[in-house]
A = this chain, B = another copy of it.
Amino acid sequence: MMRKICVVITARPSYSRIKTALKAIKEHPDLELQLVVTASALLGKYGRAIDYIQSDGFPITARIHSVVEGENLVTAAKTAGLSLTELPTIFDFLKPDVIVTIGDRFETMATAASASIMQIPLVHIQGGEITGNIDDKIRHAVSKLADLHFVSTFEAQSRLIRMGEEPEKIFVTGCPSIDIAAQVILNPGLDFDPYEKYGGVGEKRSTDNPYLVVMQHPVTTEHQYARQQIETTLETICALGIPAFWFWPNPDAGSGDTSKGIRSFRELNTKTPIHYFKNMDSVDFLKLVKNSLCLVGNSSAGIRECSFLGVPVVNIGNRQRGRARGPNVIDVEHCSSMISKAIQKQIHHGHYQSENIYGEGDAGARIANILATVGLTYTKTLTY
């Protein structure tokens, strides 16, 4: 009997982070992959992860529309509620042996609560980390509901142990996103034309010239400043005059303001050498980053993949606060002069040595192997 592994994907970034594990699960002889796609992963506005999932060859087992529209805190909570109302119906239908949830977005709480209440063993990927914002609450709460932890770093492992999780239930697999970075390192050339492949809007400069990549999301606890924060970064990059590829933000309460900030800026600054993309296949994105001068913003890719890729990063603000990071990262506040200086410093330094903090590039395979063999239970005890 094959073990049925039900992975719930709620957002584009979660998909990027789990992709190599999905592949390994799908190909493992003892595992059957059940893929439930829900929340913003279904929506065009947030990059329709589902299209990438399908074009990557993963069959969708079920899709659940659960985003309550409004982009505010009330609708964020209701979105989790609608997910928690419907996921049990689907889990009851699919009868998985294990449910896998990834990361720390509020919808992961719905997956985790469903699994716990339904007494289905729950695997949490990327627990034990700290970012210093509201996501920490969700991430640690999900860890408390999880039966098994597949963590990215030894630091995360250590933290979960201190939180009372049983050491034998915690596996340091590395982050599957590093698996993709490892593929990129083997073949690092920019072998596609981003304008042609991904469209987007704005100025089109040759990718042969040096360029920046920018990705800045709103911070959940600071969503009232989202507009101002994105404007600071937009103006700074504009003033530097270096061509840049800019990515729209993920869905969060406050992403509306970030998007509005970008949209307004764009209408007023049509000649700025910035090109805007909605999203990109993760391999292509990492290649674009690998060939850039520097990644700017607050994307977790700066902390995770770029430590492995050795790409210089200017990390702005609190979103990645608390995450383990390599020497390739300079942290700055939402201050134009600090951002500007840090970018110039990074350009001057150039690329860094590769670091293994977030894994060695085999996380997907490790995860599938553990899922195939580990003892499964839905009861757990604190170690103290």
Contact = CB atoms under 8 A, between A and B. Distances in A.
Contacts of A74: 65, 88-89, 91-92, 118
Contacts of A119: 73, 134, 220-221
Interface in A117-166: 117-119, 130, 132-134, 136-138, 140-145, 159, 162-164
Contact of A89 (B64, B88, B322, B384): B64
A107 to B, nearest CB: 10
Interface in A35-72: 42-45, 62-70, 72
A73 B117 contact: yes
B77 A114 contact: yes
A102 interface: no
A61 B24 CA distance: 30
B133 A379 contact: yes
Contacts of A42: 70
A85 interface: yes
Contacts of A221: 119, 378-379
A84 interface: yes
Contacts of A75: 65, 88
Nearest to A39: B69
A91 B379 CA distance: 33
Interface residues of A, number: 73
A381 interface: yes
A113 interface: yes
Contact of A381 (B136, B163, B381): B136
A76 interface: yes
Nearest to A107: B117
A80 interface: yes
Interface string A155-184: 000010011100000000000000000000
A76 B117 contact: yes
Among A72, A92, A110, A164, max chain B CB count under 10 A is at A92
A336 to B, nearest CB: 25
Interface string A324-344: 000000000000000000000
A88 B81 contact: yes
A281 interface: no
B77 A118 contact: yes
A28 interface: no
Contacts of A138: 116-117, 145
Contacts of A118: 73-74, 76-77
A30 to B, nearest CB: 26
Given A67-B70, A159-B384, A86 B77 contact: no
A136 B382 contact: yes
A84 B220 CA distance: 19
15 contacts: A62-B93, A68-B82, A74-B92, A76-B117, A81-B87, A84-B84, A89-B89, A106-B113, A106-B117, A109-B113, A113-B113, A136-B382, A141-B142, A163-B164, A221-B378
Interface of A: 42-45, 62-70, 72-78, 80-93, 106, 109-110, 112-114, 116-119, 130, 132-134, 136-138, 140-145, 159, 162-164, 201, 220-221, 256, 267, 322, 378-382, 384
Given A86-B89, A141-B141, 4 more contacts: A65-B72, A81-B82, A81-B84, A82-B82
